[in-house]
Structure 1
Amino acid sequence: MVDSWLVFEGEISTKMQDPIFRARKHVDILSPKVKRLARVYQEPYNNSTGYVIEGSYTNRSCKVLDESRNVVAEIRRKETDTKGVSFGLDVFMLTVNQGFDCGLAMSIVLLLDQMFL
């Protein structure tokens, strides 16, 4: 019942590569109001280390939290100051805090897109 994805470094190649991260979609039928979307674990697989993604990807309002629950990246809808103008859901901002891997942040966006479409 658990959806799982593997993240590899670089482009697809013919040689066998080891994954650098594993992502699991959070499914909890007993607590549907929980805002946890997914967990991202570092490889080799360790259930205790990694990142938690919370929020709503449908509304493009998510936070990536580290083990200490510090926000390391955030996805938000892009807003405009002009009245009557709105952007679609495909236009959003990805804010990455210093020290967090930008490539991993973008990988998380792509994973969330696959999980929730």
Structure 2
Amino acid sequence: MTDAIPGASSANTSKTMAILAHIGGLLTSWLAPLVIYLIHKPDPNDAFTTDNAREALNFQITVIIAYFACFILSFVFIGIFLFWIVMMANLVLCILAAVKASDGTSYRYPLTLRLVK
């Protein structure tokens, strides 16, 4: 016999989906956060997952814009160095956000354009 706490399963699912939104951003860029955001947006009881997926989506859109700027700047050779900085920042910040989501805390990425409201 198990003594399950009501709502504990949904809290764990919310944390798991929030972690997947951040880590999925590393693997699929904007696609995984968008899918998670669209699936969980209609559910008002899942605000934690929706908030984290929205934040991950906004950050990945910002990273795509930064990659494009690095591509343009690569013609004057500074973009090559900036590309590596953006890539490392994406890796570190996505891992940091996933750790915060596993603790049950919403993470706000720095220097992110908030395009999806």
TM-score by length of 2: 0.26
Return the structure number with greater relative CO, CA threshold 8 A, min gap 6: 2
Which has the larger Rg? Answer: 2
**Which structure has greater strand proportion?**
1
**Which structure has greater helix proportion?**
2
